[in-house]
């Protein structure tokens, strides 16, 4: 009988220790502020700390300006850093969805606040490994509900606190598409001289996909702590 009580106590103690180790922290990590004074919520996911909001600065970390390019022809001709607000709507988009940056802005190495960086392919793979299943793991990143996402926003549970929003895309030729349908986040990894890798999420499924796209495309950015 004593042996049974001891074994039960050991198992219960181990379970409580495991549960405490796997539970979310009661308090999120501190916010981060960019060189323009914009402040972003952050979230701990596994061993990584991510921004929990899309980057919206129009200034590099050294204080120099990032060109905001609204003209279609000018955007398509860029082979230098540029950013835009979806459909050139400015303040009505900026606060919620942040900016859409081309890969040349990402590759500058100066887009994120000091102590933070654009996620590498290894950083994204670590995140994907933590999510476990790429077919359903995207749901752990997407904001729940349909306040921003187009219905049905399949599989969205946001149990990581990443709170991905459907910020859409600006294509290399200058057109905008997919606000409320789709979001994509640049990595720092090149595919080749004209393409870079990005992580994408859709309203119609719960997958997290790694794809490649033109460096001239405008995607969202989430920085990760060094």
Tens of pLDDT, residues 142-195: 999 999 999 999 999 999 999 999 999 999 999 999 999 999 999 999 999 999
What the block records as the tokens of 148 is 């921003």
What whole-number distance in Å separates Cα of residue 166 and Cα of residue 144?
11
- Kindly list the distances between the CA atom of residue 224 and the CA atoms of 40, 44, 91, 119, 130, in Å, as whole numbers in the listed order: 12, 10, 25, 6, 15
Which pLDDT score, from 0 to 100, does residue 15 have?
36
| Exposure on the CB side of residue 96, measured as CA atoms within 13 A | 15
Q: What predicted TM-score, i.e. pTM, was given to this entire model?
A: 0.87
What whole-number distance in Å separates Cα of residue 181 and Cα of residue 165?
9
Q: Phi/psi at 50 (nearest 5 deg)? A: -115, 155
Which pLDDT score, from 0 to 100, does residue 22 have?
38
Over residues 7-42, the pLDDT tens digits come to 333 333 433 333 333 344 458 899 999 999 999 999
Which pLDDT score, from 0 to 100, does residue 7 have?
36
């Amino acid at each position: 009988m004593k042996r049974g009580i001891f074994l039960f106590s050991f198992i219960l103690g181990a379970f409580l220790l495991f549960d405490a180790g796997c539970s979310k922290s009661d308090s999120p990590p501190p916010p981060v502020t960019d060189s323009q004074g914009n402040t972003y919520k952050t979230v701990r996911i596994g061993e990584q700390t991510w921004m929990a909001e899309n980057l919206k600065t129009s200034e590099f970390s050294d204080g120099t300006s990032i060109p905001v390019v609204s003209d279609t022809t000018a955007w398509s001709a860029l082979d230098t850093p540029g950013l835009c607000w979806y459909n050139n709507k400015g303040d009505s988009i900026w606060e919620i969805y942040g900016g859409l940056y081309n890969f040349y802005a990402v590759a500058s190495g100066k887009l994120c606040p000091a102590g933070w960086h654009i996620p590498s392919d290894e950083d994204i793979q670590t995140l994907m490994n933590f999510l476990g299943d790429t077919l359903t793991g995207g749901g752990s990143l997407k904001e729940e509900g349909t306040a921003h996402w187009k219905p049905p926003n399949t599989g969205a549970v946001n149990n990581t606190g990443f709170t991905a929003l459907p910020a859409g895309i600006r294509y290399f030729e200058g057109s905008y598409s997919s606000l409320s349908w789709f979001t994509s986040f640049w990595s720092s990894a090149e595919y080749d001289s004209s393409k870079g890798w990005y992580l994408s999420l859709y309203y119609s499924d719960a997958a997290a996909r790694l794809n490649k796209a033109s460096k001239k495309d405008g995607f969202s950015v989430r920085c990760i702590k060094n």
